[in-house]
Amino acid sequence: MGTRAIYIFEDEHEEVHVYKHYDNYPQGAVDFIENAKEFAWGLPRFEADEFAAAFVAANKNRKGGEVRLVNARFKDREEMLEANHWCDYYYVISKHNSQDLWIEIWQSRYDMDSSDTAWVLIDELTHTEMKEKYRTREAV
């Protein structure tokens, strides 16, 4: 069983959604985002679709599966998240400044009183701060 997540890459023109099946706690996500930098244009250039493609290229299982673009048939983020309600996390990645990315970390929480789940923002920080806070191992 994986810790599933949606990664949302966002710029001023669009957002692109990527699904990743395994190891998506913040301790894993920090390295998946770092891995994408090797395949992406260097900051300050950041385009959501290009960074999403870099993320897939850097983190896809070489035998197939595990990481994929999420179908763009959804009218908005809320509808996409509802369709992927079984995910444990979602991350919003955007450009913070000319040298860093901005990361929002959202976690699905189950409410025993209402028997429902809700998305809770658990952290928002630069990628540099994320590496300092969550990294438990060297980059993969």
* Residues 5-23, mean pLDDT to the nearest whole number: 94
- Percent residues over pLDDT 90 in the chain: 67
Query: Which runs of consecutive H residues, i.e. helices, occur in 8-122?
Result: 26-37, 48-59, 77-83
% the chain with pLDDT above 70: 93
Summarised one tens digit per residue, pLDDT across range 97-121 is 889 999 999 999 877 676 677 899 9
Confidence of residue 1 (pLDDT cuts 50, 70, 90): low
- Here the tokens at position 1 are 């069983």
pTM: 0.90
Neighbours of 93 (CB within 10 A): 26
Average pLDDT for the chain: 90
